[in-house]
Structure 1
Amino acid sequence: MNQTPAPPPSSPCSPSRSPSPTPSPFRSRSFRFLFAASAVSRGGMAVGNLALPLVAIVALDASVGEVGLLATLTTAAFLLVGPFGGVWVDRLRKRPVMIAADLARALLLGWVPLAWWAGWLTLEQLCVVALLTGVGTVFFDVAALSLLPLVVGRERLLAANSALHGFDAGVAVAGPAAAGGLVALVTAPFAVAANAVGYLASACLLAGVRVEEPAPERAGRGRVWAEVAEGARFVAGHPVLRPVLVQGGLANLGIRMVTVVLPVVLVQELGLSAGMVGLFLAGGGVGVLLGATFARRLAERLGAGRTLWLLGLAIAPFGLVLPLVREGTLLWLAAGAWAVVTFKTGVDNVLLVSFRQRVTPDRLLGRMNASFRTVLTGALAVGSALTGLLGELAGPRAPLWAGALALSLVWVPIAASPLRTLRDLPTG
């Protein structure tokens, strides 16, 4: 069993001493397989996120609205089935759920190049593939977040999440360019096939994860809605999870508002080329990568809880530089500010997920993660809607100011909670 037992329980909001050095999670064979499975899955997803809409555009002559519908259906799965996915993940062992999700997504995406080659492909089929693939992603992601504490032990969560989120950030930086090159080389339908192969490889690698998952509790199991409500009550009533949820929702709201409207400002007002806009936004990906890389060191030096709000307070003024973007010097200052703001996002991604996994009992991990995914995805949807509304009423700078203000305040929920004094990750 590749699991290190967690330290003795303590109060989730009591200060604790500085964390002692822990072995690297990569010393665990099971974590190496889990990391590799995540790597090929995320890499394939980066290709698919570009290739699937390109299939609709190039092969099916889809309109802008139809491409938007395709993208919406993928995200909609988190809102439609997210809470119920958490219940079923808690009712089942996690690794088989991840393998089943990988195989299902591989079959769905594998159909696209086959149907295109045979002349059967329609937009309706693509929409079904997008929705069902999104459902598979819900189950895979919730199960993966719930399996990690069992694989590495709770005291190594910070290092494990730093490695996983660091790779995700690297994919965010390099993935679109690599995906574009692959699409150009083999055409969009066969690039979708590469995504399917990535999911197959992920399923094979997950077979190498050896962890003794406890049998899911059957006593007290009730109706699905009752179990969804139990998970929501646990999150809402927990002194660690509640401020973490509020912080994450505020961050997602701000990030979505900025990323939706910033290209409009850069292109329509400043006249930048698409290449320059991509370069500007790529700086954000670099910021996330660096934040994920340095999150563990910052937590060890400042304390996990203190890092979240002290770093946020220090970075807050940088967010307010974004709406001031103009040609010349202010353009480069805004690009640098965007990289600094997203550095904080990278740190948060590692520390906040580690907080969540550390304090949640095994039997509630699936529902906790699903509750977070639902709220965080909902914040993205609200951010998109608010951006459109404010943009129509007051112009594109208004949602840019609103998003920047939200990003400048993400530290407040942590500073106003008992988490502000924590040095080490809490235990449940």
Structure 2
Amino acid sequence: MLVWLGQSASMFGSTVSFIALPLIGVLLLELSAFEMGLVATASTVPGVLLSPFSGTIVDRVDRRRLMIGADLGRALLIVSIPLATLFGVLSMAQLIVVGGGLAVLTRLFNLAHMTFLPSVVEEESLADGNSKLEASQSVADVSGPGAAGLLVTAVGPAVTVLVDAGSYVVSAVSLARVRFSSAASAAVKPRGRSLKGFWRDTVTGFRLMWTDEVLRSISVSYASLALFAQIQMVVYMLFLVRNLHFPPIVIGLVFALSGVVGFGAALLGGRLAGTLGVGRLLVLGQGAMVAGGVLLASVAGSTVQAAGTMLVAEAFFAIGMSFWGVGSRTLFQIRTADEVRGRVIGASGVLTGVLVACSGLLGGALGSAFGLRTALVIGAVGMLLSLALVLRRRVWMVHLDKTKVGQA
């Protein structure tokens, strides 16, 4: 319960910062579009560079201490912004440093948390635990942006990000107060601090992930889906505003309503995992996301018709993300041995991270060269093709497979 409450607070704070941090560049530093893009791109580089080694780091240290350190480090990075604003020394370079630091620490925290959860939750309850976390994320996605807008209007973006800093402190305190059984305590002990064999351990994570058909199929399929979904997202807002002339209030309302749908789907995900199996839930979720992508590419007609199609598309996305999140997270947790879990999960996300980092330039280029609608269609076709990679019997029936990857 403490872990869930701490994570819920952190998720809310992060959605507030998702809105407030870019507004610091726009409103306080008055950055140009190119400079904003530079900040966004440069901020992702450290996380992408770290990603191949993050799993090995997580497997070699005390995971709880790593998460607490990551929370406190992120809080300090966030606090540096209002302090710099107060003394009149805030700069674009600082935004890049803060963004890069947040990317690194968030990558380590998320991976450590995913590998840590099986140490405090029984295996048969993992799907329910992951379902609650997805529900919290959905609530944060609905409430965070609105709260950020009100706070930015009232106190400015630099002060608003302190909400995020506070949420990280709450998360750190909740993790520090968690108590373990003797078996769980043994499971979260450090794996060793020596750097000897670091590269070998890193390679082992990639090898174990790639040689297991189920984990390989899921990893490659989702990386492909994420690439083409992000291509759509790059041009999506431009398409809604410039081609369909949607007012901001309509866009906001659609996203808020789809977030409510996602919340319901997240609560349902844990039960469906027990009924259908995590493999089927995962495939169902990816199929729903593909349906959402196809509908987005077909948005047309009057404002009411287009908004209706967009709402259904976003609802499919929300349902798909919730089902896929619960299914994939639970599957990786129960299919990997504790001593290699960080490395295997870390390896599975590397391809996704690299492709998503490239998606902004690719989506922008496609939209400029062939038009916004064409870019949306290309994204939808790519998402549809990615689904074929995960439509395998071993994935569909994985609940009957008791394999533990990396178990001695």
Same fold (TM over 0.5): yes
C-alpha displacement of 1:132: 1.3
C-alpha displacement of 1:402: 1.8
1:371 alignment partner in structure 2: 347
Amino acid at match of 1:156: S
8 Å CA contact retained: 2:44, 2:357: no
C-alpha displacement of 1:201: 1.7
C-alpha displacement of 1:332: 1.4
Paired with 1:305 and 1:278, the residues of 2 have a C-alpha distance of 33
C-alpha displacement of 1:254: 3.0
8 Å CA contact retained: 1:250, 1:406: yes
> 1:56-112: CA deviations, max 9, x gaps?
222222222222222223433321112222211111010000011111111121111
8 Å CA contact retained: 1:87, 1:227: yes
Amino acid at match of 1:267: V
Equivalent residue for 2:372, pick from 380, 392, 396: 396
Paired with 2:193 and 2:15, the residues of 1 have a C-alpha distance of 41
2:278 alignment partner in structure 1: 304
> 1:153-211: CA deviations, max 9, x gaps?
22211111100111112211221111111222221111122221221121111111123
C-alpha displacement of 1:314: 7.5
Amino acid at match of 2:389: P
Structure 1: 5+ residue runs without aligned partners?
1-31
2:357 alignment partner in structure 1: 381
Paired with 1:77 and 1:291, the residues of 2 have a C-alpha distance of 33
Change (3 A) 1:71 1:318: closer
1:344 alignment partner in structure 2: 320
Instruction: Please show how residues 228-377 of structure 1 align to structure 2 within 5 Å.
Output: 228-309=202-283, 319-328=293-302, 329-377=305-353
8 Å CA contact retained: 1:287, 1:346: no
1:87 alignment partner in structure 2: 56
C-alpha displacement of 1:148: 0.5
C-alpha displacement of 1:343: 1.2
Structure 2: 5+ residue runs without aligned partners?
none
Paired with 1:60 and 1:239, the residues of 2 have a C-alpha distance of 49
C-alpha displacement of 1:427: 4.9
Change (3 A) 1:422 1:291: same
Paired with 1:219 and 1:52, the residues of 2 have a C-alpha distance of 35
> Secondary structure of the equivalent of 1:113?
helix
Paired with 1:298 and 1:266, the residues of 2 have a C-alpha distance of 34
Amino acid at match of 1:339: A
8 Å CA contact retained: 1:86, 1:369: yes
TM (normalized to structure 2)? Answer: 0.89
1:126 alignment partner in structure 2: 95
8 Å CA contact retained: 1:47, 1:179: yes
Change (3 A) 1:315 1:91: closer
8 Å CA contact retained: 1:217, 1:363: yes
Paired with 1:84 and 1:318, the residues of 2 have a C-alpha distance of 33
> 1:300-345: CA deviations, max 9, x gaps?
3333323343565588556433222112335413431331243122
Paired with 1:266 and 1:426, the residues of 2 have a C-alpha distance of 46
8 Å CA contact retained: 1:90, 1:216: yes
Change (3 A) 1:79 1:219: closer
2:122 equivalent to 1:177: no
Equivalent residue for 1:69, pick from 32, 38, 43: 38
Equivalent residue for 2:136, pick from 167, 171, 175: 167
Compare 39-48 and 286-295 and name the one that shifted more. 286-295
Paired with 1:313 and 1:60, the residues of 2 have a C-alpha distance of 42
> Secondary structure of the equivalent of 2:274?
helix
Paired with 1:170 and 1:179, the residues of 2 have a C-alpha distance of 14
Amino acid at match of 2:354: G
> 1:120-141: CA deviations, max 9, x gaps?
2222122212111221111111
Change (3 A) 1:198 1:139: same
1:191 alignment partner in structure 2: 160
Aligned residues: 397
> 1:342-384: CA deviations, max 9, x gaps?
3122101110111011111111122122223322222322332
Change (3 A) 1:232 1:73: same
Change (3 A) 1:126 1:312: closer
8 Å CA contact retained: 2:130, 2:330: yes
Paired with 1:283 and 1:256, the residues of 2 have a C-alpha distance of 21
Change (3 A) 1:178 1:314: closer
C-alpha displacement of 1:283: 4.4
Paired with 1:272 and 1:185, the residues of 2 have a C-alpha distance of 26
1:157 alignment partner in structure 2: 126
Change (3 A) 1:426 1:78: farther
1:27 alignment partner in structure 2: none
C-alpha displacement of 1:426: 4.7
Compare 237-246 and 318-327 and name the one that shifted more. 318-327
> Secondary structure of the equivalent of 1:240?
helix
Paired with 2:91 and 2:287, the residues of 1 have a C-alpha distance of 50
Amino acid at match of 2:394: P
Paired with 1:146 and 1:43, the residues of 2 have a C-alpha distance of 22
Paired with 2:88 and 2:2, the residues of 1 have a C-alpha distance of 38
Amino acid at match of 2:299: V
Paired with 1:402 and 1:287, the residues of 2 have a C-alpha distance of 26
Superposition CA RMSD, Å: 2.4
2:177 alignment partner in structure 1: 208
Amino acid at match of 1:78: G
8 Å CA contact retained: 2:281, 2:324: no
